[in-house]
Structure 1
């Protein structure tokens, strides 16, 4: 099931991936002999460079080699410890966990958490329980330790200890996941009434997640209360229509299939630590987020949503190879498989392999998942296959009584690119009724009207509203500048379009617009410079022909209409 984050997701800025880089002859760094002249310090610097570039596995290998001859083992081992965690080698990280006086306090605290997780993964509950005892691990890992402690107690056979809800003052992630864990552990202890009290509180409280609904529904199924489970799933679908994991759970009940088993200790502990991992992602503490995800996977290597999150983190850093490795770990047939295939497709799209990207996206969309089908539509639009994109989006829109504005917007864009303006305009207007303050939507419809010379005053107001909401968007400032141009206020147009170029210097359309505005105010040399610059920015065929004609004719935008072959 997909983990629903308690906190808003933040942009992912992270160390990159974990794929070892082959040395000469195809061997990895660890397998290859170090260059004869390489000193421990040189290897350390190589490890630092690899770490800074996000290549965690390669970094770990360099640090391992550096440790063999270094006189400053504390520093090197601390870096090797960090790299091993990020690369997913938790057992090695536990062996390298810093403990000496020379080690930093932060590294020692994380080391304690890693050692405890390894013990729990190896069924050494009493060892893990002792390592995770109250206040044994402090900030910033106190929340993770607190959430793992009850599961360690359960593994150690301490039933009463496992039922104590973790507390960290002011930490809402601990409050939420602590109560979810307590509910599951009450069920494990066969204290069903207390378990249901917790489940009801989670699904009726201010924060209602798919995760809690699935957990409560599964509990009810195991109790033989199928009708009650269906009601819980129906309530969840009212909040999040189209949620494939809930649809699948509901279908399972209706078909009379067996209830899902209660999570074991390791699976429950892995789920618990995904809460702090999500919080770290939201707080842009990306190294910690990746570390926690690796710890969760040491406890439960089949935790598919954790593999997807790892892939997301690594993909966000631009490390496509490592991201692919994570996405490919998701098992076929799992609820996350469609989303993983869709995300895997984007790694190939970003690398320029459009054929493979579309093949994978179609495979993901075949699972029927909303996100996977949206990804297919997005990739088709990115590849300018607008007709098929509109077809996919139409299917999604038809399934929802009140379609998400994003679906209408995306289909409107596809129709506009196909030259089907009346349909595009209708979709944009419908989307705007659902999201009247959405800057991207206001900008797109406003700009389209401006570019067509229609509804100029209304379009101007829409674009001004979009720019006020997102003043750092070059595209939106460009729309405002182009509105002034269309209205004949060329001085204002130049001012706004210069701002837009400063914000997005490499956008060919913005540079083209600025050239036109310069021409209109008599700055013809600067106009020619801008149009020539457009030709260096990979413009599409229409814009390329437009710029070339303006340069060649000597008449600028006042010359004859530009034609493109095939129009």
Structure 2
């Protein structure tokens, strides 16, 4: 049996390398400036490719730029443009934006969008308006350009032009977020009735976005309608209780603190890019999503949720250094601070620096944020600090009207590991009642019963159901094999445990079980081989003592129970 998956194990997005040069491109060794200093233009191009493949967009931009200067090659110029954009150097990327006949159409389209955003960032609204007008930027950037165009018109002083709602035929994203942007621009124009009409429409859909709720709530607060804003926030939290930003807005409004200001033009333009960025992430268009986020942050460097999204992409690409830099941007007081700190902790956890991960997780959890506290509980369980993990989880469960089954599951595991089986069993059964078909739950509770020799028939059915749902799980197949062992069907036990070892060759517990089953069918040499193998697989104290005891006594699993050192 294996410990359950961590509750937040999927917190960092696991995506294709954000800066890969081509589909399937392999990792190249890092290249430094000194190594490339005397290189030919081709050598610098290769250095740029290696840096880009390693997620080092800033280094890649320098190498490609030097190669471009020497050769004037259009393809290298495109690579320099891409690297500068992904590194967040939008000013440089705009200067390198491809325009010639030799450039690819895809790069030229993206280049137009980059130049328009740089114009907006520099306050050159008239230039941006021209660049974004009349569908001049085509697929796949048409939606982003359409959402930006009204903000460019506003910056250019064209009030009426800024109030024209953007439209792209058949694009529901532009319909929804275009209306939300129009609401903000109506408010800027002091056309409050029309602004409210748009805001009401944006929050009246079946699942209104957090952005719409925050936008309309802020509008109501600025109009002196604090009670209406509070009602809006409470209604949203009844549907989405975990919304950190709406919780913060409600707390601010409840305390009668200063109302949030209207979005500036640059902030509004940045917000317009948030939905296209998220859409690209959902579509696994990693380079484009990173490019959009970099453009967004050029307009509004304080947009903390964008920094968290950049961190997720960088972590998914294997660039822990860049991920940590991105996660470090949100500061205390930001609604994204606890989330960013928890994700920052994950970068150290995955690097096996548990001490630093725990330190950061504790700091994030101290904010009271529920997600950060879940992360802390995960790290504590991973570090075998089960008592504290159970304490943290108990606090979260007590606060919830209907506790999430995963919280009950995790606390049940912590109790089981602490030897508090009645409490652990109760939590696991409560979690299973909420999620009766969850394979991880079926397996954990089923195995726990099997290992204790309890409820064997029911437990057998549970682990069979788990294996049917996930036949490639070595841990679940091991549970089934161990059920057969406990019920005395050693032949079937050997068959299933051999399958489990094939699936999870490095698991010490599964190998230990297989040794026991071999012994029972008279395959003594193979049994001893398995137990010796267990000792090479970094077993925990209990499994290590079990294997050593069977080997030293020469009596196999029928011998006296081994004593565990220090227990």
Common fold, TM-score beyond 0.5?
yes
User: 2:36 maps to which residue?
Assistant: 34
The Cα of 1:295 is off from its aligned counterpart by: 1.1
CA distance in 1, matches of 2:529, 2:177: 59
Change (3 A) 1:482 1:161: farther
Secondary structure of 2:36's match?
coil
Pick the aligned partner of 2:15 from 12, 16, 21: 12
Change (3 A) 1:534 1:198: farther
User: 2:7 maps to which residue?
Assistant: none
User: 2:307 maps to which residue?
Assistant: 307
User: 1:5 maps to which residue?
Assistant: none
**Paired residues of 1:519 and 1:527 also in contact (CA < 8 A):** yes
Which segments of 5 or more consecutive residues in structure 2 lack a partner in the other structure? 1-10, 21-27
**Paired residues of 1:9 and 1:281 also in contact (CA < 8 A):** no
User: 1:393 maps to which residue?
Assistant: 393
CA distance in 2, matches of 1:207, 1:304: 23
Change (3 A) 1:126 1:529: farther
Change (3 A) 1:478 1:150: farther
CA distance in 1, matches of 2:542, 2:513: 14
Q: TM-score when scaled to structure 1?
A: 0.90
Change (3 A) 1:266 1:534: farther
The Cα of 1:49 is off from its aligned counterpart by: 1.8
Change (3 A) 1:347 1:224: same
Map 1:533-548 → 2, pairs under 5 A: 533-548=533-548
The Cα of 1:317 is off from its aligned counterpart by: 2.8
Map 1:32-111 → 2, pairs under 5 A: 32=34, 34-36=36-38, 38-70=39-71, 73-111=73-111
The Cα of 1:536 is off from its aligned counterpart by: 3.0
Secondary structure of 1:329's match?
coil
CA distance in 1, matches of 2:264, 2:515: 65
**Paired residues of 2:17 and 2:318 also in contact (CA < 8 A):** no
Moved more, 223-232 or 523-532: 523-532
**Paired residues of 1:29 and 1:61 also in contact (CA < 8 A):** no
**Paired residues of 1:84 and 1:92 also in contact (CA < 8 A):** yes
Which segments of 5 or more consecutive residues in structure 1 lack a partner in the other structure? 1-7
What is the aligned residue count?
Answer: 550
**Paired residues of 1:9 and 1:282 also in contact (CA < 8 A):** no
User: 2:507 maps to which residue?
Assistant: 507
CA RMSD of aligned residues (A): 2.5
Change (3 A) 1:488 1:319: farther
Secondary structure of 1:166's match?
coil
CA distance in 2, matches of 1:417, 1:208: 42
**Paired residues of 2:443 and 2:476 also in contact (CA < 8 A):** yes
CA distance in 1, matches of 2:470, 2:190: 53
Q: TM-score when scaled to structure 2?
A: 0.90
Moved more, 176-185 or 423-432: 176-185
Moved more, 553-562 or 379-388: 553-562
**Match status 1:420 vs 2:420:** yes
Change (3 A) 1:195 1:434: farther
Map 1:258-269 → 2, pairs under 5 A: 258-269=258-269
**Match status 1:356 vs 2:356:** yes
**Paired residues of 2:341 and 2:364 also in contact (CA < 8 A):** yes
CA distance in 2, matches of 1:147, 1:207: 21
**Paired residues of 1:10 and 1:281 also in contact (CA < 8 A):** no
CA distance in 2, matches of 1:147, 1:512: 61
